[in-house]
Amino acid sequence: MKNVLVIGSTGQIGSELTMKIRREIPGSTVVAGFVPGAEPKGELLETGPSEIANVCDAKQLAAIVDKYQIDTIYNLAALLSATAEKKPLLAWDIQMNGLLNILEIAREKGCAVFTPSSIGSFGPSTPHVNTPQDTIQRPTSIYGVTKVATELLSDYYFHKYGVDTRSVRFPGLISYKTLPGGGTTDYAVEVYYSAVKGEEFVCPIGAGTYMDMMYMPDALKAAVDIMYADPSRLVHRNSFNIASMSFEPETLFECIRKEIPSLKVRYEVDPVRQAIADSWPDCMDDSCARSEWDWKPSFDMESMTKDMILHLREKLDLK
């Protein structure tokens, strides 16, 4: 990874991943790709080049790859699960037509490609507890349909054309820097904001609904480590289950109350998000990632909660 293009660089993952690679990989040039209306600001803008990179514009992407001699593309452009249900055609366009543009450019120009998959690639008929790496994937959301197709198309380009495609299935990602938007797991970020501000949190996901979650530093580490993994050890490519914690809303609220006892929560279950959550795994088995490229998370719910609260109080200037 020397010259990297991060598509979707101003999103929840992209904003932090771009900065991590710029900081930690010496000699790297990381181009922050964005779409008009989501321009990079602050350190993202100031610490390296940025370019308009719309996944649906193949010519524009190819020109960026040529201009910066890009060798690795992080394709993070996507509508999250609940938004995708509202705009399924747009989700298809970004997630499928966009992916095809990127894979074709990668094939022609020899780039490696990371396109994340998700717990959303599973469905109601998937075993929900210790979901295996290789199992039934019949998702019922359009987001899930595009994620399974992403996995298959990425593997196809690897086997047929030798494109170095690799990926992980992200759980719900929790971070204090950039908010997610339109996801089913967003509640697990939003509750921290309510807690530090002293506001009541209205939870759209019902008590007892388990989902895999992960703190952003672990997710970023996975996104980088998988691209550096020794290819001769990889039995799988698209995509690896990765896991660090699984909880239901009440368990998270109790954990936050150890730091902020006054947290108040009311449930107003959103049927769209709840149906999606019910179709997803409770917890994934990530033993293949552990054995094929030494995946190991650092944060559990307690350490994440302490870190989230500390940084959110700083960010929001709430001591």
With respect to ligand AKB, which residue has the nearer C-beta, 81 or 246?
81
With respect to ligand AKB, which residue has the nearer C-beta, 81 or 167?
81
Q: Does residue 243 sit in helix, strand or coil?
A: coil
- Give the residue, chosen from 80, 174, 203, 256, that forms a contact with ligand AKB under the rule CB under 6 A: 80
Q: Is 119 in the site for ligand AKB (CB under 6 A)?
A: yes
* Residues in a beta bridge with 29: 3
How many degrees, rounded to 5, is the angle at CA 42 between CA 45 and CA 49? 10
Q: Is 281 in the site for ligand AKB (CB under 6 A)?
A: no
Pick the closest to residue 296 from 256, 243, 258, 230 (CA basis): 243
Q: Is 143 a known active-site residue? A: yes
> Least separation, in Å, of the C-beta of 8 and ligand AKB?
13
Q: Is 185 in the site for ligand AKB (CB under 6 A)?
A: yes
Which distant-in-sequence residues (6+ apart) come within 8 Å of 297 by Cβ?
214, 215, 218, 242, 243, 244, 245
Q: Is 209 in the site for ligand AKB (CB under 6 A)?
A: no
d(CA 9, CA 35): 9
Q: Token pair of 164, please?
A: 């170095």
Q: Is 301 in the site for ligand AKB (CB under 6 A)?
A: no
Q: Token pair of 289, please?
A: 């990632």
Per the residue annotation, which of 74, 143, 187, 215 is the catalytic one?
A: 143
> Least separation, in Å, of the C-beta of 190 and ligand AKB?
12
> Quick one: which segment of 85-93, 176-184, 227-235, 308-316 binds ligand AKB (CB under 6 A)?
176-184
Pick the closest to residue 174 from 190, 162, 163 (CA basis): 190
- Give the residue, chosen from 40, 123, 183, 281, that forms a contact with ligand AKB under the rule CB under 6 A: 183
> Least separation, in Å, of the C-beta of 47 and ligand AKB?
26
Q: Is 120 in the site for ligand AKB (CB under 6 A)?
A: yes
- Determine how many CB atoms are found less than 10 A away from the CB of residue 21: 22
Assess contact for 99 and 138: CB atoms under 8 A: no
Pick the closest to residue 131 from 246, 24, 249 (CA basis): 246
Write the interaction track for ligand AKB spanning residues 99-118; mark x where CB under 6 A is met and - where it is not: -------------------x
Buried b (16+ CB within 10 A) or exposed e, 204-218: bbbeebbbbbbbbbb
- Give the residue, chosen from 10, 81, 239, 246, that forms a contact with ligand AKB under the rule CB under 6 A: 81
Q: Token pair of 114, please?
A: 């990371």
Q: Is 11 in the site for ligand AKB (CB under 6 A)?
A: no
> What is the set of active-site residues?
143
Which positions touch ligand AKB (CB under 6 A)? 80-81, 118-120, 143, 170, 172, 180, 183-185
